[in-house]
Structure 1
C-alpha cells in the first residue's frame, strides 16, 4: 500500500510521523518552517488515518515507511514522531539503523512497554463510550486527555477534527480492519542522534516512556517541557518548531 503523503522544500530529508489521535495535518505549523529552513519535509498518513485507508491484510508500519522512502528516493532520513508515530520511528531506527540520521521523539510510545494503569483507565473509559455509541464523547475524552493547559481552542478543534476522522474511518471498516504488527526491536541498535521529549502535563505513562527511551537508546537524551501535555507541537507551535529545528541543525541533518 502507498501511504498518502505530501512534501515541501528541498535539502536534507525529514519525515514527520503523526500520533494515533491525529493524522498528517498535526504538522501544519511545522512544515512551512522546516521547508524554509532547508529541509525536504515529508509527512504521511499511516494506514487507517487521514486519507490512507484501513488495511485488510497483515502489515507493519515500518515496512510502509520504508516503501515510502524508497519511492521518494530517500536513503537516509531524520525522523520526527509524535506518540504512536514516535513508536513507529523507534521501530524503524532500530530495524534499519543505517537509514536514520536523527530521531526526535515527542511524547512517544516505546515498543515493548506495556500500557500502565493510567493508559488502561483511559482505554476503559474510551471503550465504554464506544459501547454506548457515543463517538462524540470519545472524541471529547481524547481532546481533554491529551492536550495540555496551553492548548487554545484552535488546537482543541484541530485535534477533535483529526480524531473524529480516524474514528469514522476505523469504525466504518469494522471487523475487516487489520491492525499493524510490530517487530520485536532492540533499541540499543539505534545509532541515530536521539532526543526524547516529555510533557510535564502528559500522562505519567508517557513521561516514563520518554525516560526509558532515552535510557535504552545509546547516547539518548531526555528533555522535559514543563508546560506541555501530549502534543507540544499543537500546544505551543512556534516554540516546538524551534526545538525541532535546533535539534535537526545540531545533528547536521
Structure 2
C-alpha cells in the first residue's frame, strides 16, 4: 500500500511501536502514552480498518508491510514492538518477516493461531456473530466490553473501549470480505527476538494458553502472569501497565518465568 497508516509519533530515544487490539484502535494506549514518550520515541498506528485508517482498496495487502512502510517513512530501522491481543499476533508476524527490524517483543495477552481455540472463545464468537447478524451492534459492543475488560476496569475505561469497538464495527461491517490481509506463516519457535509474554489471570483461557505456549516454545521468551488482569491490562490499570512496559523496555527479556 502506498498510503501510510494513521498514526501518532512523539518522544526521543529508542523506538517503540504500539499495536492495538482488535477491539480497539490507537487510543487504547492513551493511558501509557505520556510515560512511554517521556523516555522513548513512540509510534502508535491505527492498523488497516481501525480508527482513522480505512480498509484497503484492493487485495494483496498485509499488516506487516503496512508497518514496515510506516517505519521506513519515519526513518526507524529497529524498534521494540508492544502488541495487545490482535496486535500481538501482528507483532509476531512482523518479527517473522523482518526480524532484523525488531529489537524486542512485549506481548500483552497476544493472539496466536498456533494454539487451539477453546469452548469459551468459540461461545463468544458465536454470540457476537448472532448479534451482528441480527443487526444489534450496540449489544455486540456491550458483549465485547464485558468480555475483554477485567474487574479493575473503571466505567470510563469501559466507555472508551465501547467507543473504539463501535468505531471498528462501523468500518469493518461494510468492508469487503475479499480484502482480508495476506498473512505470513508464523512459527513462534523460530522467532529469536527477546520476548515477554504477559498473561491475564482474569482473561479468557485461550489467551492464557497462548502466553504459556509462547513462553515455552520461543527461544528467548519468558512468561509474566498478571493475576489481576483481564484481556486489556493497559485499559484496566493504565499507570501500572505503563510502569511494567517501561521496566521491560529497560531490561530486555531473558528466558525465565516471572510473576507480577
| Deviates further, 63-72 or 160-169 | 63-72
Map 1:107-118 → 2, pairs under 5 A: 107-118=109-120
Q: Deviations over 1:145-200 (max 9, x none)?
A: 01000001011000000000000011233x36622231112223322211000100
Q: Secondary structure at the match of 1:202?
A: coil
Query: For the Cα contact (< 8 Å) 2:107–2:196, is it kept in 1?
Result: yes
Q: Secondary structure at the match of 2:36?
A: helix
CA distance in 1, matches of 2:177, 2:125: 21
- The corresponding residue for 1:217 is 218
- The corresponding residue for 1:205 is 206
- The corresponding residue for 2:195 is 194
1:103 maps to 2:115: no
Query: For the Cα contact (< 8 Å) 2:59–2:181, is it kept in 1?
Result: no
CA distance in 2, matches of 1:203, 1:226: 13
CA distance in 2, matches of 1:96, 1:58: 18
What RMSD, in angstroms, separates the aligned Cα atoms of the two structures?
1.4
Q: What TM-score comes out, normalization by structure 1 length?
A: 0.95
Q: What TM-score comes out, normalization by structure 2 length?
A: 0.93
Over 6 Å off, 4+ runs = none
Map 1:133-152 → 2, pairs under 5 A: 133-152=135-154
Q: Which one of the candidate residues 76, 79, 82 is aligned to 1:77?
A: 79
- The corresponding residue for 1:86 is 88
User: 5+ unaligned residues in a row in structure 1: which ranges?
Assistant: none
Query: For the Cα contact (< 8 Å) 1:3–1:45, is it kept in 2?
Result: yes
CA distance in 1, matches of 2:119, 2:113: 17
Q: Secondary structure at the match of 1:110?
A: coil
Query: For the Cα contact (< 8 Å) 1:98–1:191, is it kept in 2?
Result: no
Q: Secondary structure at the match of 2:151?
A: coil
Residue 117 of structure 1: CA displacement? 1.7
Query: For the Cα contact (< 8 Å) 2:115–2:209, is it kept in 1?
Result: no
